[in-house]
Amino acid sequence: MSFPVVVLISGSGSNLQALIDQSLQGVLNIDIRAVISNKASAYGLQRAEQSGIATHALSHKDFETREAFDQALATVIDSYQPKLIILAGFMRILSEDFTRRYEGMMLNIHPSLLPKFKGLNTHQRAIDAKESEHGVSVHFVSAELDAGAVVLQASTAIDENETAESLANKVHTLEHIIYPLTVKWFSTGRLELNSGIAYLDGAPLPISGVRYQPELS
């Protein structure tokens, strides 16, 4: 029995593609029931359609308030009865009611080593801050932005003459490894959130989660 999920996107959908590919390869036993985007132009919607996955474009611009958009989004999500909601480049801040509704069953991937560089434009900010390393974090979603329990992080060096584009490419490669792994942990019952703390195989994770190593499975 495969594990029902819904994926929320706003853009290219390369993380969605990694999940689709690993599902098709049998690495991930998930059923991606729908892909929902707040931007109709998101290429990720085409990726989903090419894989026969249901898609919805729900523009936040069509709603008076953030809460009204979130309520409409929740109605679409609930129609698929997912056990996990995966934010994969979803670029809308979600309301407190929405995050509480799905607490413990909603993951996000953020392009920084949280708690560093919450928010946007993380690659350039890390370069400007002369960081020696940068990376990506998968975390449970909480009402406070990019502050939910971190599950898994992966890092890369920031080289001399690094640009935001070159760094983003390195981070994307890491994302396509750690997001499917995190989804596998959740879909097989190894990962859960309890009172704001992430647990893997029953053990509480450190504040920065697990640091990815190739032998991790």
Ligand X SMILES: NCC(=O)N[C@@H]1O[C@H](COP(=O)([O-])[O-])[C@@H](O)[C@H]1O
Site of interaction with ligand LMY7XDAE (CB under 6 A): 87, 90-94, 99, 108, 110, 119-120, 141-143, 145-146, 148
User: Is 56 known to be catalytic?
Assistant: no
Q: Is 94 annotated in some ligand binding site? A: yes
Residue 104 and residue 115: Cα distance in Å, rounded? 19
> What does DSSP assign to residue 64?
S
Q: Are 44 and 35 spatial neighbours (Cβ–Cβ below 8 Å)?
A: yes
Spatial separation of the C-alpha atoms in residues 201 and 189, rounded to whole Å: 8
Among 39, 56, 110, 134, binds ligand X (CB under 6 A): 110
The one among 70, 94, 113, 175 contacting ligand X by CB under 6 A: 175
Cα separation, 39 vs 101, whole angstroms: 23
How far the first Cα of the chain sits from its last, in Å, is 21
Give the list of residues 6+ apart from residue 45 with CB closer than 8 angstroms, or none. 9, 13, 35, 37, 55, 57
Q: Which member of 110, 134, 139, 176 is catalytic?
A: 110
Which of ligand X, ligand LMY7XDAE, none interacts with 94 (beta carbon under 5 to 8 A by kind)? ligand LMY7XDAE
> Of 111, 148, 180, 209, which lies in the binding site for ligand X, with binding defined by CB under 6 A?
111
Stretch that binds ligand X, among 4-12, 96-104, 151-159, 191-199 (CB under 6 A): 4-12
**Nearest to ligand LMY7XDAE of 32, 149 (CB atom):** 149
Is 100 annotated as belonging to a binding site? Answer: no
